[in-house]
Structure 1
Amino acid sequence: MKVNWNYIKAFALLALVIFLYSFSSRRNAVRKVEEVKIQFTNGENLYVTENAVNKLLIVNTDTTANQSKEIIDLNKLESVLDTHEMIKNADVYLTVDKKLIATITQRKPLARVYGKESFYIDASGKKMPLSKVYSARVPLVTGVNDKDLPQVYPLIHKIENDKFLKEHITTITKDKAGNYMLGLRVLDFEVLLGDTNKLENKFKNFKAFYKKAMKDKKLDVYKTVSLQFDNQVVCTTK
């Protein structure tokens, strides 16, 4: 019977590859983590500090330098970080050079509510606590509470994503009748918005009014500018 050495060589090579892979995986699993590194997306760590993230990692998994990679639960670490009130998303992974990397994306506040309870409204329209380490420069909202978030969020989202509105609007006030008033950064008149319906049309009218009044050099003569009526801007003078 003729021996097929090609099959034997192929089988031996496969066995060697499996052995080396198993040995490498086992050896890599028991290697020690030499460094824990925190990274913030966009380079921003405004609302949660690197120290705070480090504490969460250490308290929940005893993840310190020289910790065995084999016993680190990366999914658990991510879940713990994701539950932090200032963190939007966390990605935790191990590198081949024995580093544990935690990449943190923070929540972004769009407005600050001031009242019996003060808090931020974040980019997802959710309630966000104030930070102890940083105060965001965002429009100040009064007369609302967390139940009003579905109503007021489209307004602050519109302001955040419009260069002109973001530059000019600094305050948002809701009165007892449910109407909204906007305060401006420089100009000494109040914008009566009404409800938060038809925002696109209302702000289109406001921009047209602003452009015309600025051209006529009359921006400083108005006391109020009302956008509550369809296709028109109603003004009162001082």
Structure 2
Amino acid sequence: MKIAVMGGTGLIGSQVVTFLNEAGHEAMPHSPSTGVDLISGDGLAAALEGAGAVVNLTNSPTFDEASIAWFQTSMDNLLAAAADAGVGHAVILSIVGVEQVPDLDYYRAKVLQEDVLKAGPVPYSIVRSTQFFEFMPAVMSWTSDEETVRLPATRVQPIASADIARAVADVAGGAPLNGTRDVAGPEVFTLDELGRITLEAKGDKRNVVVDSTAGMFAAVKGDALIDQGGALLSSLTYREWIAR
């Protein structure tokens, strides 16, 4: 099956393309660098011609309130073009527990993206993931200086991007779920604990200080981002991943 992968040159998308092609599909990566822009609509019709499925892994360039309009426009354009092209399956990647963090603009934007897909004209699947292993350095950089990394004690259940990509590829290559599949890592940490593991593995001597106001994840309460049962759990642990 020909599958168009929007955002197919990024961290997740490039791996999804590889997994789909290894499974015998014809996965085509698309992004602004290949001439496809979901906001302007440029290149969409050509990218979706003959496709049986489309995977949307594009992301807003910001995490603020502007992300809401970005996801609205990108999804409206993609679904209209997919319906015109006769695409039979649309897949997006979202976040486990995303609807439980309404104080974050970006999370509200992702809920909107899910809702637009559900109400749209194309049969759909949503893959929800917990946080990526690969994002930890960026999360730490938001609230760090030369001596200290400040992190909230938010509970997270991180997973490797390769395991997320494999789950997305499996869903994209099958029949529409018209529902959601969750994937999560094998272990739960507090974010400050994960920070200490990361610094130790890198030989970084900075201290991690618990700060309930630090960074975007300070808005997350309780176990909002933790699998509540039913997720597909990966086997690769964070310590194993970072040791590589």
TM bin, normalised by shorter chain, reads under 0.3
- Could you tell me the TM-score, scaled by structure 1's length? 0.23
Task: Pick the structure with more strand per residue.
Answer: 1
Q: Output the TM-score relative to the length of structure 2.
A: 0.22
